[in-house]
Amino acid sequence: MMNGFLFGPGYYTSWIMFVLPAVIVSIWAQSLIKSRFAKYSQVASGTDYNGCDVARTILDRNGLTNVRIERVAGQLSDHYDPRTKVLRLSSAVYDGNDIAAFGVAAHEVGHAIQDAEGYVPLKLRNSIVPVVNIGNKFVWILIFIGFAFSGAGSLVSEAFIQIAIALFLAVVFFQVITLPVEIDASKRALVQLENGILSYEKVDGAKKVLQAAAMTYIAAILVSIGELLRILSYVNRRRD
């Protein structure tokens, strides 16, 4: 019964209709950021800094001496953790003396500055992370349970389905609110890089890297909206 519900023809048809186009955009966006990062990682910064030095400089000039910097495994796995006040940089960024590394390092510091200032969209995004995690993991299970209880009473069935939809709406909202958070962090990063770290011409290269990164967040919004439309379509089809 589980396979028939989750993996029947309607399941795949709705995925192809609503999700596949967004996935294609997402693949293109990921390819773009990787190619931009590779291109501008070949352009030297013209300074004696590496990415860690840049991050430390920007943190300190903004009074964030309490934020630690750590090396993290992976490629483009850089992130700021607001819970522990730790900035984690991949090896290519941590050690990099190129404008791609500088751009990514400064962007992540942008999130630390947002956190310190109580930037509302960041606080809002962080506050719904637990709900988003539940929505991503359990939405289809809840929908299945809802239809499994259809014989036991429509109110019980509908409650599970509505909870699933509400949880995934939180996922969509998370992706939507992430975009302005990331764009703002990039704007802050470029201002900091222009302040005595990179020349104007080289800041432009860092800007192109960050613009490519923004496309990945736009793609994530499209994927989440496509998935929501797929869920609504599939639920309506089962109801009929």
Identify the pLDDT of residue 236. Answer: 83
In angstroms, rounded to a whole number, what is the distance separating the alpha carbons of residues 107 and 41? 15
Q: What is the DSSP letter of 140?
A: H
Q: Into how many domains does the chain fold?
A: 1
| φ and ψ of 87, to 5 deg | -100, 120
Helix (H) or strand (E) holding 130: helix 129-148
In angstroms, rounded to a whole number, what is the distance separating the alpha carbons of residues 154 and 147? 9
| φ and ψ of 7, to 5 deg | -125, 25
> Which one from 70, 108, 117, 182 is the annotated catalytic residue?
108
Tokens standing for 111? Answer: 């999130």
Is there a contact between 40 and 182 (Cβ–Cβ < 8 Å)? no
Identify the pLDDT of residue 120. Answer: 97
Identify the pLDDT of residue 82. Answer: 95
- Alpha carbon 157 to chain centroid distance? 33
Q: Which residues contact 222 (CB under 8 A, 6 or more apart)?
A: 21, 22, 25, 26
Q: From the first residue on, what is the mean pLDDT of each consecutive set of 10 residues in the chain (240 residues)?
A: 49 82 96 97 96 98 98 95 97 98 98 97 95 92 84 75 94 97 98 95 96 97 95 79
- Closest by CA position to 112, among listed 176, 66, 179: 66
B/e letters for 181-195, b = 16+ CB within 10 Å, e = fewer, are bbbbbbebbbebbee
* Catalytic residue check, 108: yes
The string of DSSP letters for 169-199 reads: HHHHHHHHHHHHHHHHHHHHHHHHHHTTTS-
Identify the pLDDT of residue 234. Answer: 83
In angstroms, rounded to a whole number, what is the distance separating the alpha carbons of residues 34 and 62? 30
pTM value > 0.85: yes
Domain that holds residue 65: 2-239
Q: Reduced to 3 states, what is the DSSP secondary structure of residue 6?
A: helix
Please write the tens of the pLDDT for every residue from 20-68: 999 999 999 999 999 999 999 999 999 999 999 999 999 999 999 999 9
